[in-house]
Amino acid sequence: MLEHACVRLVKELPEEQTSCLRAIKEQLRWFAGPQVRNVSSIGGDVCTGSPISDLNPLWIACGATFTVESLDRGARHIPAGQFFKGYRTCDMKPDEILTTIALPLNRRGEYVREFKQSHRREDDIAIVTSGMRARFDVVDGVATVSEVVLGYGGMSFKTVSCPKTQALLIGKPWNDDTLKLALASLAEDLPMAPDVPGGMCEFRRSLANSFFFKFYVDCSRRLEADGLVGNALAAAGLDAADVSAADRFHRPSPKGAQYFQIQEGKQVGQAVMHQAAEVQVTGEAEYCDDIAKPVGTLHGALVMSTVPHARLVKVDPSAALAMPGVHGYFGAADVPHNDTGPVVYDEEVFASEFVTCVGHQIGIVVAETQDIALEAARLVQVQYEELPALLSIDDAVAAGSYHEYPPFTDHTIEDGDVEAAMAACAAAGRVIEGEARCGGQEHFYLEPMANLVWCGDNDEVHTISSTQAPMKHQKLIAKALGLPCNKVVCKIKRVGGGFGGKETRAAFLNVCAAIPAFHLRKPVSLVLDRHVDMAITGARHAFLGKYKVGYSAEGKILALDMRLYNNAGNSLDLSGAIMDRALFHSDGAYKIPNIRVTGKCCKTHMPSNTAFRGFGGPQGVLFAEMWMDRVARRLNKAAEEVRELNLYEEGETCHFGQKMVSSQLKACWEQATGSASLAERRASVVAFNAAHKHKKRGIAATPVKFGISFTALFFNQAGALIHCYLDGTVLVTHGGVEMGQGLHTKMAQVCAQELGITTDKVYIAETSTDKVPNASPTAASSSSDLYGAAVVDACRQLNERLAPVKAKLGEEASKDFAAVCNAAYFSRVDLSAHGWYVTPNLEWEWDGTKGNPFNYFCFGAAVSEVEVDTLSGDINLLRTDIVMDVGDSINPALDVGQVEGGFVQGMGWVALEELIFGDKDHTWVKPGTLFTAGPGTYKIPTANDIPLEFNVTLLHNAPNPRAVASSKAVGEPPFLLANSVLFAIKDAVCEARMALGLGVDFDFNSPATPERVRMACAGPITKLFYKSDEVYRAKLTC
């Protein structure tokens, strides 16, 4: 209603009276989202007294008056500037309610503006928010300040104004000298300690001053536009290049195009709708926790460590066990075999003596409802003897703390003569060295971790789990309970997103649920709340890369020596294999004749990090692009020129010995840069930047080369089971898991193609360990290749058996598959087949020899252009053009979706999402605790963060002979195309720095949050709060 009232009054009243109303209307655009706004109230927002409220600074600035009323004492009228008393406390008695907000109308020469900067532009809480109002007297063409109010949120424990600055401005002319005085005074009005809650001290103080500068520009141009001061901009020391600093952001509707080929007359190659699309969009699709629970099901809640490293002194569950509805507490003593882990048994089902991270599971409470279980878990008393904690890569390196499990860790790949090549480059003065870092990333699957376990007779255990790897659940439950695997069955129909997070970390939770289920012989459900899921199940690994690069005068990379470190957390999990893939991809898409890369998995007291889309490849490739960008800037060349110079050629050999065969790398690069008109648009970017001081654009093109296969070679096998029924329908069961990517739909298309039927005749059954045993995880982008080939093999067997039947029926009758199946049945022909596939010609050992760890490579290229607000760090992604090599697509609709989704998820990693744990750089967070544990503090991209123009092309006429239906994998490779966004942002930042005469040869760490962008852009404002000449390095949990 407030928004509608503002819109109506702005239309009805004279413009000079509505500046406050327009500012409120504009601020409401960024106030949560429409769904939240439609169920919230202005009174609730005001009385909450949030220190980061979007509107409260505006109420103060506009001179609003709040009326509060009590039945006994009547009404009180309180100026907004006096209403907010402390952290979430207001000048209200317990029996008072807020009844009225009185807002004065404005006058001629009075201007109000709203400002807000958040991590994500829309549907996000503010980092800093502000409302400002100034009234001017104009005498002899000179504007002087007669009244001014500056309200700020996010700068203190409550919404504040700036009395010293406000008093200083009264009577001052609106000119550059006054601006300088105000900026200096604001720094005193808005002090902030380095360890302030929320962090980002220098950034927040810079934002406060940047907002005032924007207000200064806005008032100047409005004074001139309203005819009050003829040359207000010039009088303020501004010119046309300054004006855009005050522009409000308005996002137009995005547009885009998708280009792909259809294979006519085939079941494969068609843009078939995802088989579960309709039930998913209607909410009918059943996920693990939606399934009807067996009678008597109990609900579990974990008892977890609250400290990162300690000896367990005492665990007392007596208070929990005394609660009505609680059926038991189970800890380490209740587990027959307590050691566990997906690769090495370096974990425990429940901690027995030591806890090694916040969230480490100590035990589980089971009760009749989830609420009772959660309350009971909180009542379990745990006494700790706290021990020193390592909370970062730097901590681990300093302590020499690494996971060392040969042959899974401590690997090196070396090719050529690194020492000699580097020495020659150093003699020519062409060597760069640096340290690059990238943060982790939360999987943020929509469905949290969920497990349901029940027991049958003869010690049978059945479980339904939200997992990408049912076999791991079967194996680890059997181990923990001391049962044979043939008595444990794990099933899953569909997963609500996984992205690697449910490959291994779901299994230990299922084991936790299985313990009470087995002892009590009752079904147990364990479903994690979102904040618990995020806090304890691990994320993408943060990485540190220490590199040294030698290059030629034209930009050819001649030598690379790099050491990689990942923050593995408190157990190995898959960190060794993830580091291996990072080593394999440390060359990016570039031929480097002399290279040495080595990796260490850091052992820290953090939750164990795990697989995530790309599996270490994104980190290795990102670092390659970081040093490639620096080489280009050292040589004063366009980065795309240097990148293109170094791209792999057909037949060249990677540093691990695999040849580039049937490479589409150059084709993707040339088509992407050509269709994006890269050269012309770079010229346009240069022109734009010359005309704008405070908005800068950047553009970048980056390639992708991504190897497809599990680097653990034994995983490259797959099975499928096919049943043909007498009505001509077909049931397929395979070892892969459907988690939204469309795997089942593709398998149905492959099966239909091979059997000569239509896709609607094929149904894919749930994934189950008692149908297809020993299935590899649905991961590594390999599932379509593996299970598709297994389906083909099963269909081949069926076709061979049915060939004599079809010959006897004749060509016309054989077109009816039901008739074929009936004829086969009456001829006693087996209508069931088990298919099997093993990826051929893979060879790799970590013994210094070379080999072929991958079946083939996927290729791609992307061009992205961004616009950066150098005063706030706000980023607007203007356009992205992608060309992706997917071979002959089995389903172009699904593949385009994967390309777009992978790119946007990658964009989140490099430009938005940031995990913040309590560590030495974030002392305002409890040590080892995840601050960003939920959507309120952790921001993923939304539909409003996609490029304004988004063009995707699946490379045409590029069949892949090494996979089913000549297709290629598509799950992970597009993720890496988001590097183009990061380096477009860096390009814009460098433009801002060059305009100030600052250097551009620096490592730009990921993610490129508004803090990193704004502070890297530098300038007079940031100089007030960051005195060093070095490029600002925002604190990063790494």
Residue-wise pLDDT for 18-46, tens only, equals: 999 999 999 999 888 788 888 888 999 99
Compute the C-alpha angle 548/549/552, nearest 5°. Answer: 155
DSSP labels, 860-881:
EEEEEEEEEETTT--EEEEEEE
Residue percentage of the chain with pLDDT more than 70: 100
Beta carbons of 840 and 953 less than 8 angstroms apart: no
pLDDT of residue 38: 82
pLDDT of residue 322: 98
> Omega of the bond prior to 448 within 30 degrees of 0, cis?
no
Q: Is 925 helix (H, G, I), strand (E, B) or coil?
A: coil
The answer to whether 867 is a known catalytic residue is: no
CA end-to-end span of the chain: 45
Of 272, 1, 226, the residue nearest 108 (C-alpha): 226
pLDDT of residue 354: 98
54 has binding-site annotation: yes
Taking only the tens place, the pLDDT of each residue in 493-533 is 999 999 999 999 999 999 999 999 999 999 999 999 999 99
Confidence of residue 544 (pLDDT cuts 50, 70, 90): very high
Beta carbons of 609 and 577 less than 8 angstroms apart: no
468 has binding-site annotation: yes
Q: How far apart are CA 347 and CA 340, in angstroms?
A: 5
780 has binding-site annotation: yes
pLDDT of residue 123: 85
* CA dihedral angle for residue 525, residue 316, residue 473, residue 447, rounded to 10 degrees: 50
Of 762, 716, 594, 708, the residue nearest 968 (C-alpha): 708
pLDDT of residue 32: 80
503 has binding-site annotation: yes
pLDDT of residue 122: 86
Confidence of residue 727 (pLDDT cuts 50, 70, 90): very high
Beta-carbon contacts of 1029 under 8 Å, excluding residues fewer than 6 positions away, are none
Q: How far apart are CA 168 and CA 96, in angstroms?
A: 36
What kind and span of H or E run contains 666?
Answer: helix 665-675
Confidence of residue 387 (pLDDT cuts 50, 70, 90): very high
* CA dihedral angle for residue 820, residue 821, residue 826, residue 828, rounded to 10 degrees: 110
Beta carbons of 883 and 861 less than 8 angstroms apart: yes
Residues in a beta bridge with 314 = 383
Residue 72, phi then psi, degrees to nearest 5: -85, -40
Q: How far apart are CA 99 and CA 43, in angstroms?
A: 8
pLDDT of residue 24: 96
Taking only the tens place, the pLDDT of each residue in 163-180 is 999 999 999 999 999 999
Residue 363 reports pLDDT greater than 90: yes
Confidence of residue 1029 (pLDDT cuts 50, 70, 90): confident
157 has binding-site annotation: no
Compute the C-alpha angle 37/43/49, nearest 5°. Answer: 100
Taking only the tens place, the pLDDT of each residue in 851-874 is 999 999 999 999 999 999 999 999
Residue 1028 reports pLDDT greater than 90: no
Residue 1004 reports pLDDT greater than 80: yes
Question: Cα dihedral sign for 437, 440, 441, 443?
Answer: positive
615 has binding-site annotation: yes
Structure tokens at 844: 């790799």
Q: Which of 96, 972, 991, 1011 is catalytic?
A: 972
Structure tokens at 557: 């990379």
Beta carbons of 543 and 565 less than 8 angstroms apart: yes
pLDDT of residue 1: 80
Q: How far apart are CA 144 and CA 146, in angstroms?
A: 6
Beta carbons of 506 and 513 less than 8 angstroms apart: no
Could you tell me the strand order of the sheet in which 856-869 lies? 255-259, 949-954, 875-884, 856-869, 695-708
Confidence of residue 637 (pLDDT cuts 50, 70, 90): very high
Taking only the tens place, the pLDDT of each residue in 388-397 is 999 999 999 9
Mean pLDDT of 73-95: 95
Mean pLDDT of 80-109: 96
What domains can be seen in the chain, in order of their start residue?
Answer: 2-246 (3.30.390.50), 662-708+856-1038 (3.30.365.10), 717-838 (3.30.365.10)
Q: How far apart are CA 813 and CA 811, in angstroms?
A: 6
12 has binding-site annotation: no
Confidence of residue 598 (pLDDT cuts 50, 70, 90): very high
Supply the pTM of this predicted model: 0.97
Query: Using only C-alpha atoms, what is the Rg of the chain?
Result: 31
What kind and span of H or E run contains 189?
Answer: helix 176-189
917 has binding-site annotation: no
User: What counts of helices (H) and strands (E) characterise the chain?
Assistant: 29, 36
Residue 586 reports pLDDT greater than 90: yes
pLDDT of residue 794: 98
Residue 750 reports pLDDT greater than 90: yes
Mean pLDDT of 450-477: 98
pLDDT of residue 623: 98
State how far Cα 289 lies from the chain centre: 24
State how far Cα 46 lies from the chain centre: 32
Confidence of residue 157 (pLDDT cuts 50, 70, 90): very high
Mean pLDDT of 906-925: 97
How high is the mean pLDDT of the chain?
97
Beta-carbon contacts of 523 under 8 Å, excluding residues fewer than 6 positions away, are 293, 294, 296, 297, 298, 452, 453, 454, 517
Q: How far apart are CA 635 and CA 642, in angstroms?
A: 9
Residue 290 reports pLDDT greater than 90: yes
Residue 937 reports pLDDT greater than 80: yes
Q: How far apart are CA 393 and CA 567, in angstroms?
A: 6
pLDDT of residue 631: 98
Taking only the tens place, the pLDDT of each residue in 830-856 is 999 999 999 999 999 999 899 999 999
Beta carbons of 726 and 829 less than 8 angstroms apart: no
C-alpha count within 13 angstroms, C-beta hemisphere, residue 261:
19
613 has binding-site annotation: yes
Taking only the tens place, the pLDDT of each residue in 116-137 is 999 998 889 999 999 999 999 9
257 has binding-site annotation: no
pLDDT of residue 742: 97
pLDDT of residue 31: 84
Residue 686 reports pLDDT greater than 80: yes
Confidence of residue 299 (pLDDT cuts 50, 70, 90): very high
Q: Residue 70's CB: how many other CB atoms inside 10 A?
A: 14
Structure tokens at 212: 């005032």
Taking only the tens place, the pLDDT of each residue in 817-827 is 999 999 999 99
Q: Is 59 helix (H, G, I), strand (E, B) or coil?
A: helix
Percentage helix, strand, coil, to 5, in the chain?
35, 25, 40
Beta carbons of 1019 and 921 less than 8 angstroms apart: no
pLDDT of residue 35: 81
Taking only the tens place, the pLDDT of each residue in 170-210 is 999 999 999 999 999 999 999 999 999 999 999 999 999 99
